Structure 1
Amino acid sequence: MMPEGLVLQDIHLPAAPGWWPPAPGWWALAVLALLLLILASRWLWRQGQRRAWRRQLADELAAIEARHPHLQSPAAHAAALSVFLRRVAVLTDAGVASRQGEAWLHFLDGDDPARPFSEGGGRLLLEVPYRREVDPQDAERLRALVQRTLPRWAEARRV
C-alpha cells in the first residue's frame, strides 16, 4: 500500500557521455600515432640529408673532373682525388686525419675484401704527391675506384 499523496517519478537516465576527455585507450593511440609521426619525419629528414650528401659528393667529383680532366692532366687529377678523399674521410671520421701510408689505404679499403686501395689502383695515392707524371690509365683506374666507392662514403657519414 502506498501512502496517498506520494507520487512516483520516472527513472532519471544519466547524461550522454561527452567526447572530451577521451578514454585512456584513445590517449594511448594518440601517443603511439605521435611517436610514429616523429620517427617517420626523422627518417625522412635523414634520407633527405643522405641524398643531399650523395649529390654533394657527386658534384664535387664532377668539379674535379672539370678542373683537371684525367686524360689531359692525370697527375693533377690524381692529386685532386687524393685531397677529395682526405676531406670526405675527415668529415665521416675525424680520427682519420692523422693516418698516413698503409694505414690510410687500409682505412679507405674499409671492409672490402678486394682491398682496392691497399692492393689495387688506389696505391697511386701514396705516390701521387711526389710524382710529376702519372700514367693516364692509372689516373683513370683511381677515378673509377673513387667513383665506385662513393656510395659507401655517402652512407658512412653520420647525419
Structure 2
Amino acid sequence: MKKIVPLLTVIIIVAIIVIIFLSMSNKKQMIVIEQNNHTHSPVDIKLNHYQDTQCGMTITSTKHSAQAVSKDGRTWFFDDIGCMTLWYENLKNKNDIKFWVFSNDTNKYIDAKTAWYKRTDATPMGYGLGAYENKQEKFIDFETMLLKMLRNENLNNPYTKKELLGN
C-alpha cells in the first residue's frame, strides 16, 4: 500500500500537467507572419491577435502600427514604426518588400516610403515616430526617418528627447 500512494500521486501530477499543456495548445496562437497575402496590401489586423515581429509585443492598436509584405505574400506586423525600421535594417532584399504604415491624419494604411514622419508622437515602444499622409512643418521623409532611427535619434535617446521635447 505504501508504494501505491506515491505512484498514484505521481500519476495524478503527470495527468494534471498533460491536461494543462493540452488546454494551452487549444488556445488560438498569436500571428507573427501571415501567409498568402498575394494582393500585397495591408492586412486587416484583429487587435490582440497579432504580434510584433521585432519586439514580440501584442498589437493592441493600429495607430503607429506598420506592416511589411514580401513578393511571396508573407506579411510581418509591427506595433511601432521604430520596430519596423530596426527589422528593415537587417533585410537583405529591401526592394522586395512593400511597407505600409498607419497614417495618423487619414486613419488608414499608406505606403511607408511616401509617408511623412513626425518624431514626437507617443508610440507603443517609445520611439516617437508617427506616420502621416500629409506633410506638415518639421515632418521628415522615409529615408531621413530611417537614418535618424538607426542613429538612435529617437525619443528613447534622452539627448534626442530633450532636443525635440525640451524635457
The bucket for the TM-score relative to the shorter chain is 0.3 to 0.5
Bigger CA radius of gyration: 1
Normalized per residue, the structure richer in strand is 2
Bigger relative contact order (CA 8 A; separation at least 6): 1
